[in-house]
A = this chain, B = another copy of it.
């Protein structure tokens, strides 16, 4: 949720009854502090911060999180052993994002309180095993004792119910909120999320770090480069710097990197966070009623 989830979205989700997360991955430490402070003023409900641990300034970010009294941290992109003890010592609930059962077991062993199991269909950075939500959730659930939150492909109440049928204890929703009114994504990017169809995203850049993005000109140019069998260095040079900011935050739909999940093909309008949460809960309940009527 880099570039899309600041305090506005996080507090709106929390006020609507979800658990809003501030995405620290695209924030300098002092920017994060400001967002946490504003979030505390905008909601009295619990909220959390998502921290990709491989980003720079990680020590400073963790220090700020503790200083500001954040109660819930979602960690990703790194070893859960590194920061879990420090966060737990400071009374923080820790949830770690994984893409496989092996990583889920490691996170559980590191003492996290819950895991997010994220499938191949999820937007942005993703795992190497390419395990999908439909198969990852039951396989992780079978091996893990702590709560499992499903992510990847969930944008409505039916998806939420299906994930829970597969064994999830809860769900994490990214793409749908990236296209919400309170998202800090550029309007161009939000419109693109609404317009993109099934098949409009792809997992690429696997040699560096696998990332799912929209097949725009930047993606097409990347495919042309792939035809020449590039080295990692050539890929890194082609990628350049700040592609994601350029696409998602500044709205450059041509040369920017537009990270979104496959489920974008099912997102048809830009709603407020409150509308999304209410619609999901209503649709969850009606899907639950329908389940009783399946007949053979």
Residues in chain A within 8 A of chain B (CB atoms) = 100-102, 119-121, 129-136, 138-140, 142, 152-154, 156, 158-159, 161-167, 197-199, 202-203, 229, 261-263, 265-266, 287-288, 290-292, 294
Contact = CB atoms under 8 A, between A and B. Distances in A.
Chain copies in the assembled complex: 2
21 contacts: A100-B198, A101-B198, A101-B199, A121-B132, A131-B198, A134-B134, A134-B154, A134-B162, A134-B163, A134-B263, A135-B198, A135-B263, A138-B158, A139-B198, A139-B266, A158-B167, A164-B294, A165-B290, A165-B291, A288-B292, A288-B294
Contacts of A119: 132, 134
A134 B132 contact: yes
B152 A134 contact: yes
A132 B129 contact: no
A132 B294 CA distance: 23
Contacts of A159: 134, 138, 166
A254 B183 CA distance: 50
A202 B100 CA distance: 14
Contacts of A164: 291, 294
B266 A142 contact: yes
A164 B288 CA distance: 11
Most buried by B among A101, A139, A152: A139
Contact of A266 (B129, B138, B158): B138
A229 B119 CA distance: 28
Given A198-B101, A288-B292, A266 B203 contact: no
A101 B152 CA distance: 19
Given A101-B265, A162-B163, A288-B292, 5 more contacts: A101-B197, A132-B152, A134-B152, A135-B262, A138-B156
